[in-house]
Amino acid sequence: MIALVDCNNFYASCETIFRPELKEKPIIVLSNQDGAVISRSNASKVLGVKMGVPYYQIKEICDKYGVQIFSSNYALYNSMSKRVMSILGNFAVSQEIYSIDESFLDLNGIDNLTAYSEKMRTTVMQWTSIPISVGLGSTKVLAKFANYLAKKHKFLDNVCNLEELGETRVNKAMQITDVAEVWGVGWRVSRKLKQMNINTVYDLKIANPSHIRKIFNINMERVVQELNGIKCIDLEELKKANRHIISSRNFDHEVTSRDDLKSAFIYHIENVCGKMRKQNLFARQIIFCARTNRFKDNYFSTSIEIAIPSALDSFRYISSYIDRALDAIYKPDIKYKKCGVIVNGLITGEYVTKDLFDNTNIKHDKVLPAVEKVRMRFGKSAIKLASANLSDAWKMEQRFLSKRYTTDLNELLEVV
DNA sequence: TCTGGGGTCCTAGGACCC
DNA sequence: TCTGGGGTCCTAGGACCC
């Protein structure tokens, strides 16, 4: 059996751990730039606050009902995620950490799975204060469906074991569930399925797999098979290396100056290089992109790809491409709203071919670890490229940021 | 005024090869 | 003027996920 374990309202739940007075209260967590709602406590859901709505549209409701607002605090969420995942890992034969708040567990050979899941719930709750839901099924798609039921139906109390429910009741549940709830079926595919008169999860389950493959693709065929209990999607215990790494962000206002854009690019390059170094990855291609506000007329987006002759990770070296990128991208009459950097063609250190005539790296090999050390000790902004100081026009808006209770000694919870 | 960020995978079609 | 068959590799675009 496979379990899909999912943290309930994860970011919102994290925010209440160190603010217990907020449990049961309406709270929401906002995206970067305090733009849109990305997590809600149950009490906020009751108030009708929808996922993904921009904050300014619900500000009135929030003020009226005293909804507590938080900016996203990934230092906190990541550290809580690690704790939850490591507890869950101890319960399983093997584990795939699927996202920051979800994990697939292989529970083969374990008896009495419903009781076992209850025990997982109480343990995670006791040790971290994070509530979880458990869905049990014979395939990943079924485990996901079970998890959906576990949350949807109160009487299940956050644990749903399809095997225990029995085929008749599972089919019945599938018959009353919209096909869009299936893992892998998004709104476009569900629209098309409905035109084919496939409206519920059950309709999709009994559809002809090869027909589905012809119309959609092989992944949709796998989904159909998995709904029927035929395993097609493996549990991936080992995390695959990144195919690409992105850093991108909206500006809090529209940007027109070349220097502002440049300093944002430098910020993103440092970000991306930091992530590459952590995984010992080197890039062979870098993409700079920038765009205007996508909610306005005359939406414009532009990008440039630059090949890196000998794969490198050094941000100082990659920085030399910025001016080239700006020459190609920057236009003074464009109001930029977002920009970012993507690195591609990632390879691990041992496969890097060094450029025979390039000796800039020799010194640099020593500089970078030193820079890292300074940053570890004194914080990320303690040392940076001189050119990164051109402007801070692109800085993040985080008006409602909570403390980094679990990752920063200066921000520990104080008990009075 | 204000609308997130970071990922994965698949397919069609073009360029190129013998 | 007519123009095969069988491949590979790359990229853009579209779909999905949390």
Closest-approach nucleotide to residue A217, Cα vs C1': B10
Write out pLDDT tens, residues A59-94.
999 999 999 999 999 999 999 999 999 999 999 999
Task: Answer whether any strand B atom is within 7 A of the Cβ of A36.
Answer: yes
Using H for helix, E for strand and C for coil, what is the string for A100-114? CCEEEEECCCCCCHH
pLDDT at A398 over 60: yes
Instruction: Please check whether residues A96 and A219 belong to one and the same domain.
Output: no
Provide the CATH number for the domain around residue A199: 1.10.150.20
Spatial contact of A313 and A265, defined as CB atoms under 8 Å apart: no
CA A27, A32, A34, A36 torsion-angle sign: negative
Q: Which domain holds residue A212?
A: 166-227
Q: Give the distance, in angstroms, between residue A153 CA and nucleotide B4 C1'.
A: 30
Judge contact between A332 and A255, C-beta under 8 A. no
* pLDDT for A253: 85
Which positions of chain C lie under 7 Å from any protein Cβ? Answer: 12, 14-18
Are A175 and A160 part of one and the same domain?
A: no
Q: How far is the CA of A339 from the C1' of C9 (A)?
A: 30
Q: Which residues touch strand C (CB under 7 A)?
A: A 98-102, 144, 182-190, 305
The average pLDDT across A336-349 equals 89
DSSP secondary structure string for all residues of A161-212: EHHHH-HHHHHHHHHTSBGGGSTT--HHHHHHHHHTT--BHHHHHTS-HHHH
* Interatomic separation, CA of residue A215 and C1' of nucleotide C15, rounded (Å): 13
Alpha-carbon distances of A173 from A177, A194, A199, A322, rounded to whole Å: 6, 18, 13, 55
Kindly tell me if the per-residue pLDDT of A247 is higher than 60: yes
| pLDDT tens-digit series, residues A306-331 | 888 766 666 666 777 888 899 988 99
Same domain for A72 and A143, yes or no, is yes
Nucleotides of B under 7 A from a protein CB: 1-11
Tell whether the model's pLDDT for residue A241 goes beyond 80: yes
In whole angstroms, give the CA distance from residue A314 to residue A321. Answer: 12
**Whole-number distance in Å between A206 CA and C14 C1':** 26
The whole-number Å distance from A219's CA to B9's C1' is: 9
Q: Rounded CA gap, A403 and A409, in Å?
A: 10
The percent of residues above 70 in pLDDT, for chain A, comes to 91
Q: Are residues A22 and A160 in the same domain?
A: yes
Distance A131 CA to C14 C1' (A): 36
Verify that A342 and A384 share a domain, yes or no: yes
Q: Is A352 left (phi over 0), alpha (psi -120 to 50) or beta?
A: beta
Is strand B less than 7 A from the beta carbon of A411? no
A259 and A220 share a domain?
no
Task: Determine the average pLDDT of the residues in A214-239.
Answer: 94
Residues A344-397: tens digit of each pLDDT: 888 887 776 666 565 555 556 677 778 778 877 777 667 776 666 556 656 677
For residues A291 and A199, give the distance between their C-alpha atoms in angstroms, rounded to a whole number.
37
Same domain, A131 and A59: yes
**CA A97/CA A236 separation, integer angstroms:** 8
What whole-number distance in Å separates Cα of residue A94 and Cα of residue A226? Answer: 20
* CA A10/CA A91 separation, integer angstroms: 20
Q: Which of A105, A133, A97 is nearest to A118 (CA)?
A: A133
Helix A258-278 to helix A322-329 angle (10° resolution) is 130
Give the residue among A310, A394, A324 at the shortest CA–CA distance from A352: A310
**How many structural domains is chain A composed of?**
3
Rounded CA separation A132/A4 (Å): 10
* A171 CA – C4 C1', rounded, Å: 52
User: Would you place residue A341 in the very low, low, confident or very high pLDDT band (cuts 50, 70, 90)?
Assistant: very high
| Within-domain flag for A139 | yes
CB A38 within 8 A of CB A30: yes
What confidence tens digit (pLDDT) does each residue in A10-48 have?
A: 999 999 999 999 999 999 999 988 999 999 999 999 999
H/E segment holding residue A228: none
Q: Kindly report which listed range (A185-199, A211-225, A247-261) carries the lowest average pLDDT score.
A: A247-261
Are A142 and A172 within one domain? no
* Per-residue model confidence (pLDDT) at position A364: 61
From the CA of A63, how many Å to the C1' of B7? 35
Q: Nearest nt to A293, CA vs C1'?
A: B3
Single out the residue of A115, A241, A126, A127 nearest to residue A136, CA to CA.
A115
- Answer whether A143's CB lies under 8 Å from A137's CB: yes
Q: What is the pLDDT of residue A363?
A: 58
Name the β-bridge partners of A290: A302, A339
pLDDT at residue A277, as a whole number: 85
Closest nucleotide (CA of A219 to C1')? B10
Q: Which two tokens stand for residue A319?
A: 């920085």
Which residue's CA shows the smallest distance to C1' of B9?
A: A219
What's CA A73's distance to the chain center, in Å? Answer: 13
Q: Is the CB of A249 under 7 A from strand B?
A: yes
CA A150 to CA A288: how far, in whole Å?
43
Whether this model's pTM surpasses 0.85: yes
d(CA A184, CA A189) in angstroms, rounded, equals 9
Cβ A222 to strand B below 7 Å:
no
* Predicted pLDDT of residue A359: 56
Q: Are residues A296 and A364 in the same domain?
A: yes
A142 lies in the same domain as A59: yes
Distance CA A132, CA A125 (A): 8
pLDDT tens digit sequence for A102-150: 999 999 999 999 999 999 999 999 999 999 999 999 999 999 999 999 9
Same domain, A11 and A147: yes
pLDDT number for residue A311: 66
Please check whether residue A318 lies inside any domain of the structure. yes
Q: How confident is the model at residue A408 (pLDDT cuts 50, 70, 90)?
A: confident
CB-based contact A227:A200 (threshold 8 Å)? no
pLDDT tens digits, A269-295: 888 988 988 888 888 889 999 999 988
The Å distance, CA of A94 to C1' of C8, is 37
CB A35 within 8 A of CB A363: no
Q: Which residue, A44, A36, A58, is CA-closest to A15?
A: A44
Subset of residues 369-388 in chain A with CB less than 7 angstroms from any atom in strand B: none
A257 part of a folded domain? yes
Is A400 within the bounds of a domain? no
How far, in Å, is the CA of A257 from the C1' of nucleotide B1? 20
A218 in a structural domain: yes
Strand B contact at CB of residue A218, distance < 7 A: yes
Return the H-helix or E-strand segment holding A274: helix A258-278
Note whether residue A401 is domain-resident.
Answer: no
- Would you state the structure tokens that stand for residue A63, as one six-digit string? 């003020």
pLDDT at A7 (0 to 100) = 98
A299 touches strand B (CB under 7 A): no
Domain contains A406 = no
CATH at residue A39? 3.30.70.270
- Considering only CA atoms, which residue is closest to the C1' of nucleotide C17? A184
Q: Check whether residue A41 and residue A175 sit in a common domain.
A: no
**CA atom of A58 to C1′ atom of B6, Å:** 26
Of A1-5, A164-168, A392-396, the poorest mean pLDDT is in: A392-396
Domain CATH for A385 = 3.30.1490.100
CA A128 to C1' B13 (Å) is 51
A11, part of any domain = yes
pLDDT of residue A365: 66
